[in-house]
A and B are shown apart, each in its own frame.
Chain A
Amino acid sequence: KAGVTQTPRYLIKTRGQQVTLSCSPISGHRSVSWYQQTPGQGLQFLFEYFSETQRNKGNFPGRFSGRQFSNSRSEMNVSTLELGDSALYLCASSLTGQGKGEAFFGQGTRLTVV
């Protein structure tokens, strides 16, 4: 079956702009989580959505937001981009988002803010 698909793969934006990233989970998976990966901070949890509801969020400013659609596809939005938002953004899908269940990751979106 198809894996987790993230689009676009690469993105270059200017400071102050906003950006929307997309994640299509594995069919049947209802949980989608987002992570930011940077060389300095490593992998940090942004938020998780399940059945269109945000169930959990990490310590990121309100400029970072997301949503999930009825088909489980998720989008992540960053407004008023800062240079420090340059990172690899990964999404992960799983059946329930809990327990020992495997989280399947996409290949990520590389965001560069100039």
Chain B
Amino acid sequence: AQTVTQSQPEMSVQEAETVTLSCTYDTSESDYYLFWYKQPPSRQMILVIRQEAYKQQNATENRFSVNFQKAAKSFSLKISDSQLGDAAMYFCAYRNAGGTSYGKLTFGQGTILTVHP
């Protein structure tokens, strides 16, 4: 079974600065997908960024980028120029590429990000 671990229960950052959230995962599969989701107080989970395991290039989406280290099974999220609206719970998630993993995302425990003005 796959597991996802987020070792930072809480992080804080000053507005306009950069913060990195950590995530490690364990899997015996070679083909999979990794995601970062954001859950603001409104509770609705929103996709921030995704990475395909077979792609070596790190994904980027505007101020959000990842550092994907496949051998180390590490998938960190970097938020640049942090904004007040970035404050939320962030979840790292894993999905197998095939087999019987239909619809299933395996989530980490989450990191609460606080942004200070």
- Residues of chain A touching chain B, judged by Cβ–Cβ distance below 8 Å, are 31-33, 35, 42-43, 45, 47-50, 55-56, 58, 88, 90, 92, 94, 97-100, 102-108
Residue of A nearest to B52 (CB): A100
A56, B47: Cα distance in complex, Å: 22
Interface size bucket, B side? 20 to 34
**Surface stretch bound by A, among B10-18, B77-85, B98-106:** B98-106
A103, B48: Cα distance in complex, Å: 11
Taking a contact as CB atoms under 8 Å apart, the answer to whether A103 and B47 are in contact is: yes
Taking a contact as CB atoms under 8 Å apart, the answer to whether B45 and A98 are in contact is: no
Which secondary structure characterizes the binding site on chain B? loop
- Residues of chain B touching chain A, judged by Cβ–Cβ distance below 8 Å, are 33, 37, 42-47, 50, 52, 91, 95, 97-98, 100-110
Q: List 7 A-B contacts (CB under 8 A).
A: A31-B103, A32-B103, A42-B107, A42-B110, A49-B103, A98-B103, A100-B33
Taking a contact as CB atoms under 8 Å apart, the answer to whether A102 and B47 are in contact is: yes
Q: Known pairs A45-B105, A94-B103; list 18 more (Cβ under 8 Å).
A: A42-B108, A43-B107, A45-B103, A48-B104, A50-B102, A55-B102, A55-B103, A56-B102, A56-B104, A90-B43, A90-B45, A92-B103, A98-B98, A100-B33, A102-B50, A103-B103, A105-B37, A107-B43
